[in-house]
Amino acid sequence: MTVTVPVALITGSAHRLGAQTAKTLHQRGWNLVIHYRSREGQARALVENLNRKRPNSAHSVQADLSLTADVERLANETIARWNRLDALVNNASVFYPNPTEAATEEGWNTVLNTNLRAPFFLLKACLPALRENGGSVVNMIDIYSERPLADHPLYCASKAGLAALTRSWAKDLAPDVRVNGVSPGAILWPEGNGETDKDSRQAILDKTPLARTGNPEDIAETIAFLICDAPFITGQIVAVDGGRSLNM
pLDDT value of position 72: 97
In a domain, 199, yes or no: no
155 a catalytic residue:
yes
pLDDT-based confidence at 232, cuts 50/70/90?
very high
Mean pLDDT of 67-74: 96
| pLDDT tens digits, 106-140 | 999 999 999 999 999 999 999 999 999 999 999 99
Cβ burial of 10 (10 Å; 0-12, 13-18, 19+) is buried
Give the per-residue pLDDT at 194.
46
Distance CA 44, CA 36 (A): 10
**Nearest Cα residue to 33 out of 69, 74, 5:** 74
pLDDT at 38 over 50: yes
Q: Which residues are CB-contacts of 87 (< 8 A; sequence separation ≥ 6)?
A: 6, 7, 8, 9, 25, 30, 130, 135, 136, 137, 138, 227
| Residue pair 210/218 in contact by the 8 Å Cβ criterion | no
pLDDT at 234: 98
Is residue 167 one of the residues assigned to a domain? Answer: yes
Residue bearing the bigger pLDDT, 206 or 229: 229
**Is residue 197 one of the residues assigned to a domain?**
no
Q: Does residue 44 belong to any structural domain of this protein?
A: yes
Largest CA distance in the chain: 62
In one-letter notation, the amino acid at residue 241 is D
End-to-end, the C-alpha distance of the chain in Å comes to 53
In a domain, 161, yes or no: yes
Q: Is the pLDDT of residue 3 over 80?
A: no
- CATH number, residue 94: 3.40.50.720
Please report which confidence band the pLDDT of residue 157 belongs to, taking 50, 70 and 90 as the band edges.
very high
Q: Which is catalytic among the residues 36, 96, 144, 155?
A: 155
The pLDDT of residue 223: 98
Residue 1 lies in a domain: no
Higher-pLDDT residue of 180 and 3 is 180
Domain count, the chain: 1
Does 188 score more than 60 pLDDT? yes
pLDDT score at 2: 65
**The pTM is what?**
0.94
Distance separating alpha carbons of residues 52 and 41, to the nearest angstrom: 16
Q: Which domain holds residue 146?
A: 7-189+215-240
pLDDT at 189: 67
